[in-house]
Structure 1
Amino acid sequence: MSSADLAKSIGRELPFLRRYARALTGSQTVGDKYAAAALEVILTDRSVMDGLDTRVGLFRAFHAIWDSSGQPVADADGGARGARAQSLMSKLTPNSREALLLSSIEGLRYDEIGQVMQIDAGEAEDLVRIAMDEMSQSVRGKVMIIEDETIIAMDLKGIVQAMGHEVTGIARTHSAAIQLADEKRPDLILADIQLADGSSGIDAVNELLQSLGDVPVIFVTAFPERLLTGDRPEPAFLISKPYTEDQVSSALSQAMFFSSTEGLAAS
């Protein structure tokens, strides 16, 4: 592959590496720093991509940096929050959370996860299973759902409740979300981007965060690349539509590890 073709191929995959990095660290800022470091590795030595699919090679370069750094979570957004997340993570089987994210959020096969993490496919599969078991038992909380499509909203509610979380309610519009949060404070918000009355889920979440403070947010959208441009503050947790149950449960477990989220500027 020529340098130009490689650059284009990496450019297509970069938004998804950034999504993975910020979910892993709990911070847009720190996640993007790791993603940038992975690009520097590739620029320095293109051989790290030899024989690998572009996405796999890009994620493998990222993991070389991640592993060598000691895999810290971000505390730039607040020392206490970072310390809390680090304490929770220290109780998990090493590398299990990474394998879970690569599988459920990024959709890599077990053999591809093995290539990224330089382990065999069987070990990758075991790590994913272990992570799902350990993280599902770590944190329970109250979840507010902002979603205007009834079938999707009920599906999300079922997934959330099956994990042992309480659903405070379902809001279909910006104003309904504000009212629902006033009635019962959520520990986490699961929000669509576009709502029934044409209002923005992003705007609703930003207004909620002004009053709620440190509440993690997971956004659901059919066009994740539109929120992964790097031009403005972006969500740490982002699920693509159509989603799977594993993607939702993984993102919920990950987000509950972090007690803060970075707001989004209005479109």
Structure 2
Amino acid sequence: MSIAKEIAQHLPYLRRFARALCGTQASGDAYVVATLEALVEDPTIFERSLGERIALYRLFLKLWSSVGVNNEGEGDRSFAERNLDALTPRSRQAFLLRTVEGFSLSEVASIMAEPVADTADLLDRAGREIAEQMATDVLIIEDEPIIALDIETMVQELGHRVTGVARTHKEAVALVAAKRPGLVLADIQLADGSSGLDAVNEILRSISVPVIFITAYPERLLTGDRPEPAFLITKPFQQDAVKAAISQALFFDRRAGKAAA
């Protein structure tokens, strides 16, 4: 089987990881493209013995860390992109791989070419860093009460405030009008048959706010067409995955705001 066929099913998820790591869709996709170009030029760099998914992510991180890729187009890059090494240290890479991408501790260690004990230390450090994120107001768009309560509890445990829980498109828009959130957590299929995606698109026409989609239907968003969400959690989710995505979303949104200022 060709490398292209082996990795095809993993590319949408690598693009998700790349966007979360880089903070923008354009930057994340650029690194994915660079990875694929490197594979075409030299297929021997693909370490099949690791398994295709681990090998793909390992190669991506090797290229992401390379000076040649990171410095390309320096003058056109955003504040977050120009300071990528400082903003997304190894501990954040490990945390994203473990909690968002769902790799085991040993798999994360293999991808990052680190001993398991050192990888565990990186994850512990990431947890401490994430706990230092500033609090904000969060809108939850979720029609299932138990899931909504679970998400609300996680949000509050991180020190954030929940402005409300919307079960429909109409409720979501009304809650934003009543109090502007600093973050939106949204499902895409809601109780009355309305769309959380449509609700988010309407909200984004009036305010700029980071959005995390939490859905059982990631394929509806990971289509390869623009725009795609930078932060996407698949149901059933791990609590750490949601917490990590919240911190990453706020982290990059804050940096983008500083750059614009």
AA at the equivalent of 1:174: H
- Counterparts of 1:128 and 1:154, CA distance in 2: 27
Task: Pick the structure with more helix per residue.
Answer: 2
2:168 to 131, 148, 173: 173
AA at the equivalent of 2:236: P
Q: Are positions 1:67 and 2:70 aligned together?
A: no
1:240–1:75: structure 2 CA closer, same or farther, 3 Å change rule?
Answer: farther
- Counterparts of 2:220 and 2:181, CA distance in 1: 27
- Counterparts of 1:203 and 1:234, CA distance in 2: 13
AA at the equivalent of 1:8: K
- Counterparts of 1:130 and 1:122, CA distance in 2: 13
The equivalent of 2:112 in structure 1 is 117
The equivalent of 1:207 in structure 2 is 202
For residues 122-167 of structure 1, the C-alpha deviation after alignment (integer angstroms, 9 at most, x for no partner) is 1111111110111221221111000011110000000000010111
- Counterparts of 1:35 and 1:234, CA distance in 2: 15
AA at the equivalent of 1:39: L
- Counterparts of 2:7 and 2:128, CA distance in 1: 33
Is the 1:142–1:167 contact (alpha carbons within 8 Å) kept by the matching residues of 2?
yes
Q: Are positions 1:187 and 2:182 aligned together?
A: yes
Is the 1:188–1:217 contact (alpha carbons within 8 Å) kept by the matching residues of 2?
yes
- Counterparts of 2:74 and 2:144, CA distance in 1: 36
- Counterparts of 1:96 and 1:216, CA distance in 2: 22
The alpha carbon displacement at 1:98 in A equals: 0.4
- Counterparts of 1:167 and 1:41, CA distance in 2: 44
- Counterparts of 2:74 and 2:142, CA distance in 1: 31
1:34–1:137: structure 2 CA closer, same or farther, 3 Å change rule?
Answer: same
- Counterparts of 1:206 and 1:163, CA distance in 2: 26
The equivalent of 1:248 in structure 2 is 242
1:104 to 96, 99, 103: 99
AA at the equivalent of 1:47: T
The alpha carbon displacement at 1:226 in A equals: 2.9
Number of paired residues? Answer: 251
AA at the equivalent of 1:64: K
The equivalent of 1:27 in structure 2 is 24
For residues 178-221 of structure 1, the C-alpha deviation after alignment (integer angstroms, 9 at most, x for no partner) is 110111110000000111111111110111111112x1100011
* TM-score, normalising length: structure 2: 0.89
The alpha carbon displacement at 1:79 in A equals: 4.2
Unaligned runs of 5+ in 2: 255-261
For residues 57-112 of structure 1, the C-alpha deviation after alignment (integer angstroms, 9 at most, x for no partner) is 1101111111114868x9999946x38x949x7377x3000000000000111221
1:11–1:129: structure 2 CA closer, same or farther, 3 Å change rule?
Answer: same
1:226–1:162: structure 2 CA closer, same or farther, 3 Å change rule?
Answer: same
The equivalent of 1:52 in structure 2 is 50
- Counterparts of 1:95 and 1:222, CA distance in 2: 29
AA at the equivalent of 1:127: L
AA at the equivalent of 1:29: A
SS of alignment partner, residue 253 of structure 2: coil
Is the 1:23–1:236 contact (alpha carbons within 8 Å) kept by the matching residues of 2?
yes
AA at the equivalent of 1:257: F
The alpha carbon displacement at 1:19 in A equals: 0.4
Is the 1:141–1:188 contact (alpha carbons within 8 Å) kept by the matching residues of 2?
yes
* TM-score, normalising length: structure 1: 0.87
Q: Are positions 1:258 and 2:255 aligned together?
A: no
Q: Are positions 1:41 and 2:35 aligned together?
A: no
1:249–1:32: structure 2 CA closer, same or farther, 3 Å change rule?
Answer: same
CA RMSD of aligned residues (A): 2.4
The equivalent of 1:143 in structure 2 is 138
- Counterparts of 2:12 and 2:99, CA distance in 1: 16
- Counterparts of 1:247 and 1:157, CA distance in 2: 14
